[in-house]
Homo-oligomer: A and B are copies of this chain.
Amino acid sequence: MSLGSSTSQHYKVGIVGASGYTGVELLRLLAGHPYLDLVVATGDSKAGTAIADLYPSLAGHYKDQKFQAFEPEDFDGLDLAFIGLPHGLSMDVVPRLRGKVGKIIDLGSDFRLTDPELYPQWYGANHTHPELLGEFVYGLPELFRDQLIGAELIAATGCNAATSTLALTPFVDGGYVKPEGLIVDLKTGVSGAGRPPKETTTYCTVSDNVAPYAVLTHRHTPEIEQAITARTGTEVSVLFTPHLVPANRGILATCYAEPKEPMTSEQAIEILADFYHGEPFVVVNERVPTTKVTVGSNTVHMSARVDPRTGRLITMASLDNLMKGASGMAIQNANLALQLPEDSGLTTIGVYP
């Protein structure tokens, strides 16, 4: 954590809401980032607590620093601020930071949906700053890189939406599948639910269990639809069914669609491979993607199959929800916003086993 002057190569950054799981992952990544220097890390509920006491995993690097209470002036003059707050909080934080910092990257959902009507429908409350929605760029570099380069305001993609959207978009974009009733059967580890303890996230509840949740009503549904449509120009409808599985990290999306014309598994894999050709954080292969191989990396693994018996397409993607699904994605966005090498501070290699 450098508090010194930044050179032409270095940028000063801060984190609002650094004590949650996306925050600790940002702290981990920033400790190894060659160009970004952390200046301030806030965590209101943990203000005054040493970072190393809450997260001993960071003790080898963050020896004395503490989480601070959020004060906008602490961010004055920073080049970039990451926001890692629960839903509903960053919509009021962004206006307080804007003008003080060069760039803002919000890891939450407050600025992902462009249509303000969707907030009361899916989140149960009106957006307090709908005028800002149109100013944010959606932070999924593989689909919207051009808009992200140099962007000032970025809404980093949600973990479920990233996985699902990356798996489905190539097939919608090429007009290969019917766009209605796309099915996403998603399996996710627990860290996506955050650090605060809940009845649904205790060890005894989660271990040795598989549990569908938020069936029909999950808030990432409109985000998936919006992202696919924004990229492809095709209206789609998605049935998104997440399942909680006993894993720390990792999301697997198994998506089902109906091809318009007969297609082979080889062709389906080729469509994915062509679409993501040259992407540094995408691996397309015949191998079926699994979640554990992604842990700690910023890589998405993808494959596809077509069932000759039923004619259905299965397209699958896996990633680490705290990396490519959150903090790694946010760093990738920051690199684009600041026009740094896109893979700065990010690894493609997972910690396995």
Bound form: Cα–Cα A314–B310 in Å: 18
Given the interface pairs A246-B203, A309-B237, A314-B215, the reply to whether A208 lies near B295 with Cβ below 8 Å is yes
Q: A199 interface residue, CB < 8 Å from B?
A: yes
Mask of A285-321 contacts with B, CB within 8 angstroms, 1/0: 1011111111111010100010111111010101000
For window 30-62 of A, CB contacts with B under 8 Å fall at 31-32, 52-53, 55-61
The residues in A between 171 and 210 inclusive whose CB is less than 8 angstroms from any CB of B are 180-181, 183, 185, 187, 189-191, 195, 197-199, 201-210
In the assembled complex, the CB of A268 is this many whole angstroms from the nearest CB of chain B, namely 12
Q: Are A237 and B310 also in contact (CB < 8 A) when A57-B352, A245-B187 are? A: yes
Please measure, in the bound complex, the distance between the C-alpha atom of A318 and the C-alpha atom of B241, giving whole angstroms. Answer: 16
User: Does chain B have a CB within 8 A of A347?
Assistant: yes
Q: Are A210 and B250 in contact (CB under 8 A)?
A: yes
Q: Is B212 in contact with A250, judged by CB distance below 8 angstroms?
A: no
One of B181, B208, B349 near A248 (C-beta < 8 A): B208
CA distance A53 to B285 in the complex (A): 10
| Interface pair B191/A195, CB less than 8 Å apart | no
Chain B residues whose C-beta falls within 8 Å of the C-beta of A283 in the assembled complex: 52, 56, 59-60
A353 & B216 in contact (Cβ 8 Å cutoff): no
A67 at the interface (CB under 8 A from B): no
Is residue A138 contacting chain B, with contact meaning CB distance below 8 A?
no
Q: Which chain B positions have C-beta within 8 A of A288?
A: 211-213, 215
The answer to whether the Cβ of A233 comes within 8 Å of any Cβ in the partner chain is: no
Interface residues of A in 263-294 (CB under 8 A from B): 265, 280-281, 283, 285, 287-294
Task: Decide if A310 touches B239 in the complex (CB within 8 Å).
Answer: yes
Most buried by B among A60, A199, A347: A60
Q: In the complex where A181-B312, A252-B212, A310-B180 touch, is A296 in contact with B351 (Cβ < 8 A)?
A: yes
B56 engages A353 (CB within 8 Å): no
**Does A243 lie at the interface of the complex (its beta carbon under 8 Å from any beta carbon of B)?**
yes
Size category, A interface? 35 or more
Other-chain residue from B59, B297, B307 in contact with A57 (beta carbon distance below 8 A): B297
Among B28, B56, B296, B348, which residue has its beta carbon within 8 angstroms of that of A290? Answer: B56
Give the distance in Å from the alpha carbon of A238 to the alpha carbon of B309 in the complex: 8
A245 contacts B210, CB within 8 Å?
Answer: yes
- The complex is assembled from copies of this chain, and their number is 4
**B21, A181: Cβ atoms closer than 8 Å:** no
A247 within 8 A of B: yes
Quick check: is A254 within 8 A (CB to CB) of the other chain?
yes
CB–CB B290/A216 < 8 A: no
In-complex Cβ contact of A252 among B21, B243, B309 (8 A): B243
**Complex Cα spacing A185 to B55, Å:** 25
Interface centre among A28, A288, A350, A353 (most CB of B within 10 A): A353
Query: Can you pick out 20 interface pairs between chain A and chain B where the beta carbons lie within 8 Å of each other?
Result: A28-B351, A32-B347, A57-B292, A59-B283, A59-B293, A60-B281, A60-B299, A190-B202, A190-B203, A191-B204, A191-B353, A201-B203, A203-B248, A209-B247, A211-B252, A211-B292, A212-B290, A246-B246, A295-B351, A296-B351
